[in-house]
Copies of this chain bind each other. A is one copy, B any other.
Amino acid sequence: MSDQFARLSLNTMTAKGWTLREAVEAAAAAGLPAIGPWRDRVAEAGVDTAAKILRDNGLRVSSLCRGGFLTGVGDESAALDDNHRAIDEAAALGAPELVIVAGGIPDRDLPGARARLADRLARLVPYAADRDVRLALEPLHPMFCADRAVVSTLAQALDLAAPHPARTVGVVVDTFHVWWDPYLAEGIAAAGAAGRISAFQICDWLVPMTPDPLVSRGMMGDGVIDFGSITALVRDAGYTGDIEVEIFNEKVWATNGYTILEVMKQRYRDLVLPALAG
């Protein structure tokens, strides 16, 4: 493994066509030390087999995607049960961080949805803490507030995390979701100072956006995000963990997985690595 990729992780969504085994073996062969699996790929393999695949290939898990969707009205037991299972899976895989996507608004009451999220997060924390899994709150771009995540900024995620110890609740810095934030530097610095940066995920913001904003995430360098400056903020905040490439993009998904890996390594080397060293 080349040292320059010692922190680079492949999120399984980036090479969506691969099974977990294919993704892990290809990442390992490409010299990557880590992978960020989604639960669907783990479920296909079975969690015990997934853990064995990771061990056999010497890869660590940067984070498990994802739990959450905790904003529903009414009976919350199904949502909590699913999150308990996600925490168990993270523990079985040795994943230190479980990414939490909050969930959207089932009605027009946004403050209500945010309050339910806070309550249910508090109910999950002890279960996760007992299993050494940190709940990593991911602010999603505000365009997803209605249908996917009522957590929209790092400042808000840190406010939600604040009642809980830093070892139990962290926040995700995903360039696609936070690059526009006028207070991004303050948010990343505060997350670092609180010891709460759980994950650093990278991909680009395409202009124009694709018709479905969910798949408008581009390979680093194909959009308008300045990876150097955001990486420097994360570096200066003291984060030393993995850097996960997570891209939802139909064109990327139509590309051969090995090509995706080579392009992402090259872009990482050109756009991210200089700021890590700097």
Contact = CB atoms under 8 A, between A and B. Distances in A.
A268 interface: no
B213 A209 contact: yes
A11 interface: no
B209 A181 contact: no
Nearest to A221: B108
Contact of A146 (B110, B146, B153, B224): B224
22 contacts: A105-B224, A107-B224, A108-B225, A109-B226, A111-B229, A141-B142, A141-B143, A142-B142, A142-B143, A142-B180, A142-B181, A143-B143, A143-B213, A145-B179, A146-B207, A146-B224, A147-B208, A151-B182, A155-B182, A155-B183, A156-B182, A211-B211
A114 interface: yes
Interface in A209-268: 209, 211-213, 223-226, 229
A205 interface: yes
Of the listed residues A153, A182, A213, the one surrounded by the most CB atoms of chain B closer than 10 A to its CB is A182
A58 B180 CA distance: 42
A152 interface: yes
Given A105-B224, A141-B142, A142-B141, A110 B180 contact: yes
A210 to B, nearest CB: 8
B146 A114 contact: no
Interface in A30-62: none
Main secondary structure of the interface of A (DSSP, over half): loop
Contacts of A181: 142, 152
B226 A110 contact: yes
Q: How many chain copies does the complex carry?
A: 2
Interface string A129-162: 0000000000001110111000111011001000
Interface of A: 105, 107-111, 114, 141-143, 145-147, 151-153, 155-156, 159, 179-183, 205, 207-209, 211-213, 223-226, 229
A182 to B, nearest CB: 4
A181 B142 CA distance: 8
A160 to B, nearest CB: 9
A70 to B, nearest CB: 16
Contact of A180 (B145, B159, B209): B145
A69 to B, nearest CB: 16
